[in-house]
């Protein structure tokens, strides 16, 4: 018998008997009604389609700026910025640890100068920007705000999202800087700052995507993501905030796999769990506090370097799963991303995939097409039960942070990843073009290559910046930042002044490292 990714049997036929105990009046309801199983808005895509984001960023800020302009001209309705590893880790391009990584998996942003170039000619009051950045998320947001102010745009006009989800970095990805305690303090400060200064900004995108990429099952993805969400809410409440003041700006980030039915069920179950947690545990009353709004990215881990054109098919199925599941925004991976950074043509094809779904299919014309499907409703119930059971195990260990420190989530994900690897190796899990239907000889493909001279140019630009700027002003600003970090004041205000004085990302993060220290992970426990 076939199994779902979460390990539940897939029945040959589903019927009313498979929904024992299911009360349509209380569990399903209408779109836009609690617990939002059928979607968070009554009209969903019948009013307007989802936001079509394309994740891009490579090399220098100037090169990425050119790609952003192409995406906007091609019909993209939102930008999603990828940063290189040194930026994600809070290091400047000329730091020893940055050697060989500058501009490789995203754009290098060292200072206000780079952020200014990155968004040159792009009206920030008319574009929604998502930034995939976590440990130094506050810094990149402040740089974005400073560039907007130079354009004459106030913080009240800016819309977008920072990922800002450092807990999942400890679990599945590794681009952390500070220990969990200071990291959560920085998150709470960002919540407060944005409420006052950038009120339309989504202050966090709590991510299950990277857990899924590391091998998490759909049930694990939902459970560990929502457990992290609970930890962030508790942190904000402990900092004196009121739940309905910040919860409406929380958002989530999930993967969409090729297992379409289970993915649709996953999104429905996640909405239902979050709505109940927010109302029953935290007493939220604003309906927007109960709504699980989420961005989706198609599953990069399922892309193959073998016969890469097949990834066009995979991405289309994954994107359809996200749309049928009720996503608010979507990024479709390019077919060549298992080989290298996407080319201009492959990025355009990825965007066109979304446009075909939005304009050539009938899917957007009705809300929640799978509602009442025996199979999907049964899978939704199974996923909800499995995710809740895992969330209870996290709570039993003292919550998400304590479980992270014990290595619980990481070990569970590694165990599932090992199972998937074994099934693929044995051929039990079919990967078309890899362990079945493979070619003896692959067609030649010319990938996009990042110019290795970028690192030298970026280092030279940093040297010029340090020579030109006012050294005493930077020193004083960094001292004020360290004083705030050592106390209880909101660190984003002195951080913004340091960045305005042209302190670099590495210098700002270095100042915080001096006060807060760095995180040292524990080993796997399985």
Instruction: Report the C-alpha gap between 459 and 284 in whole angstroms.
Output: 49
What confidence tier does 217 reach under pLDDT thresholds 50, 70, 90?
A: very high
Q: Is residue 164 part of a domain?
A: yes
Tell me the per-residue pLDDT of 176-189, one tens digit each, with 9 for 90 and over. 999 999 999 999 99
Tell me the per-residue pLDDT of 423-482, one tens digit each, with 9 for 90 and over. 999 999 999 999 999 998 887 777 767 788 889 999 999 999 999 998 899 999 999 999
What mean pLDDT do residues 193-213 have?
96
Both tokens of 31, joined, read 């779109």
% of the chain surpassing 90 pLDDT: 81
- Whether residues 106 and 249 share a domain: the answer is yes
Q: Is residue 453 part of a domain?
A: no
Q: Which of 142, 172, 166 is nearest to 88 (CA)?
A: 166
- Whether residues 115 and 246 share a domain: the answer is yes
pLDDT at 24 over 60: no
User: In the beta sheet, which residues pair with residue 256?
Assistant: 298
Q: Which of 264, 170, 168, 174 is nearest to 223 (CA)?
A: 168
- Whether residues 359 and 486 share a domain: the answer is no
Of 339 and 490, the structure prediction assigns the larger pLDDT to 490
> Other CB atoms closer than 10 Å to residue 311's CB: what's the count?
26
What mean pLDDT do residues 248-270 have?
97
pLDDT at 78 over 90: no
CA angle 441, 333, 262 (to 5 degrees): 100
Phi, psi of 35 (to 5 degrees): -95, 25
Res 445: pLDDT: 76
Q: Is residue 6 part of a domain?
A: no
- Range scoring the smallest mean pLDDT among 25-29, 91-95, 301-305, 360-364: 25-29
Terminal-residue alpha carbon distance, the chain: 28
- Whether residues 320 and 421 share a domain: the answer is yes
Residue 47 is part of a domain; what is its CATH number? 3.20.20.240
What mean pLDDT do residues 194-201 have?
96
Last residue of a domain, one of 405, 426, 447: 426
DSSP string computed for 134-198:
-TTHHHHHHHHHHHHHHTT--GGG--EEE----HHIIIII----S-HHHHHHHHHHHHHHHHHH-
- Whether residues 249 and 358 share a domain: the answer is yes
Last residue of a domain, one of 402, 426, 450: 426
**Under a CB-based contact definition with an 8 Å cutoff, are residues 262 and 377 in contact?**
no
Q: Which of 389, 255, 374 is nearest to 322 (CA)?
A: 255
**Under a CB-based contact definition with an 8 Å cutoff, are residues 328 and 78 in contact?**
no
Three-state secondary structure call for residue 201: strand
- Whether residues 404 and 483 share a domain: the answer is no
Q: Is residue 113 part of a domain?
A: yes
Q: Is residue 393 part of a domain?
A: yes
- Whether residues 304 and 390 share a domain: the answer is yes
Summary mean pLDDT of the chain:
93
Q: Is residue 328 part of a domain?
A: yes
Instruction: Report the C-alpha gap between 194 and 81 in whole angstroms.
Output: 19
Please give the tally of structural domains in the chain: 2
What confidence tier does 4 reach under pLDDT thresholds 50, 70, 90?
A: very high
User: In the beta sheet, which residues pair with residue 295?
Assistant: 253, 329
**Under a CB-based contact definition with an 8 Å cutoff, are residues 232 and 18 in contact?**
no
What confidence tier does 523 reach under pLDDT thresholds 50, 70, 90?
A: low
- Whether residues 407 and 491 share a domain: the answer is no
Both tokens of 30, joined, read 């209408």
> Other CB atoms closer than 10 Å to residue 443's CB: what's the count?
8
Res 22: pLDDT: 53
270-308 b/e (C-beta count within 10 Å ≥ 16 → b)? bbbbbbbbbbeebebeebebbbbbbbbbbbbebbbbbbb
- Whether residues 299 and 395 share a domain: the answer is yes
Res 26: pLDDT: 47
Cis peptide before 35 (omega within 30 of 0): yes
- Whether residues 420 and 473 share a domain: the answer is no
Q: What is the pTM of this model?
A: 0.90
Q: Is residue 522 part of a domain?
A: no
Both tokens of 81, joined, read 């910025």
Both tokens of 164, joined, read 């800002």
- Whether residues 352 and 487 share a domain: the answer is no
Res 25: pLDDT: 44
Last residue of a domain, one of 362, 394, 426: 426
CA angle 88, 94, 96 (to 5 degrees): 85
Q: Is residue 133 part of a domain?
A: yes
- Whether residues 49 and 146 share a domain: the answer is yes
Three-state secondary structure call for residue 236: helix
DSSP string computed for 302-359:
G--SSSTTHHHHHHHHHHHHHHHTT-SEEEPPPTTTTTSSPPHHHHHHHHHHHHHHHH
Q: Which helix (H) or strand (E) holds 51?
A: strand 51-56
Domain that holds residue 510: 469-516
């Amino acid at each position: 018998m076939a199994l779902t990714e979460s390990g539940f049997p897939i029945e040959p036929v589903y019927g009313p008997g498979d929904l024992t105990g299911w009360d349509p009046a209380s569990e399903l309801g209408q779109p836009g009604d609690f617990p939002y199983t059928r979607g968070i808005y009554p009209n969903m895509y019948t009013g307007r389609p989802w936001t079509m984001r394309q994740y891009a960023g490579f090399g220098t800020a100037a090169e990425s700026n050119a790609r952003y302009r192409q995406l906007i001209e091609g019909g993209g309705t939102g930008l999603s910025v990828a940063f290189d590893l040194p930026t994600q880790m809070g290091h400047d391009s000329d730091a020893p640890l940055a050697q060989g990584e500058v501009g490789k998996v995203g754009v290098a942003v060292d200072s206000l100068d780079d952020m200014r170039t990155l968004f040159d000619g792009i009206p920030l009051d008319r574009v929604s920007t998502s930034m995939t950045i976590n440990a130094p998320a506050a810094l990149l947001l402040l740089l974005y705000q400073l560039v907007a102010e130079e354009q004459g745009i106030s913080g009240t006009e800016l819309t977008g999202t920072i990922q800002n989800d450092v807990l999942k970095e400890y679990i599945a990805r590794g681009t952390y800087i500070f220990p969990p305690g200071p990291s959560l303090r920085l998150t709470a400060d960002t919540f407060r700052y944005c409420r006052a200064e950038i009120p339309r900004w989504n202050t966090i995108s709590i991510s299950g995507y990277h857990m899924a990429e590391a091998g998490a099952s759909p049930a694990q993805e939902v459970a560990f993501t929502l457990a992290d969400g609970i930890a962030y809410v508790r942190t904000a409440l402990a900092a004196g905030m009121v739940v309905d003041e910040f919860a409406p700006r929380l958002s989530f980030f999930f993967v969409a796999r090729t297992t379409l039915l289970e993915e649709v069920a996953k999104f429905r179950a996640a909405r239902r769990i979050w709505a109940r947690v927010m109302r029953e545990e935290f007493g939220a009353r604003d309906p927007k506090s109960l709504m699980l709004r989420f961005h989706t990215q198609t599953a990069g881990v399922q892309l193959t370097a073998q016969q890469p054109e097949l990834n066009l098919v995979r991405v289309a199925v994954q994107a359809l799963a996200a749309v049928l599941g009720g996503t608010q925004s979507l990024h479709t991976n390019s077919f060549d991303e298992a080989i290298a950074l996407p080319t201009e043509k492959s990025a355009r094809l990825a965007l066109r995939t979304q446009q075909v779904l939005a304009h050539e299919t009938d899917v957007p014309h009705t809300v929640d097409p799978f509602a009442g499907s025996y199979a999907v409703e049964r899978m939704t119930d199974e996923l909800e039960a499995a995710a809740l059971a895992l969330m209870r195990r996290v709570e039993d260990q003292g919550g998400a942070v304590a479980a992270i420190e014990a290595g619980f989530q990481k070990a569970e994900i590694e165990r599932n990843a090992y199972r998937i690897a074994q099934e693929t190796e044995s051929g039990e899990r079919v990967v078309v073009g890899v362990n079945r239907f493979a070619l003896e000889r692959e067609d030649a493909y010319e990938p996009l290559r990042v110019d290795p001279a970028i690192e030298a140019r970026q280092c030279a630009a940093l040297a010029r910046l340090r020579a030109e700027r006012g050294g005493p002003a930077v020193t004083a600003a960094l001292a004020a930042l360290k004083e705030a970090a050592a106390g209880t004041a909101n660190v984003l205000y002195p951080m913004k002044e340091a960045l305005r004085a042209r302190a670099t990302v590495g210098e700002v993060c270095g100042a915080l490292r001096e006060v807060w220290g760095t995180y040292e992970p524990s080993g796997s426990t399985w």
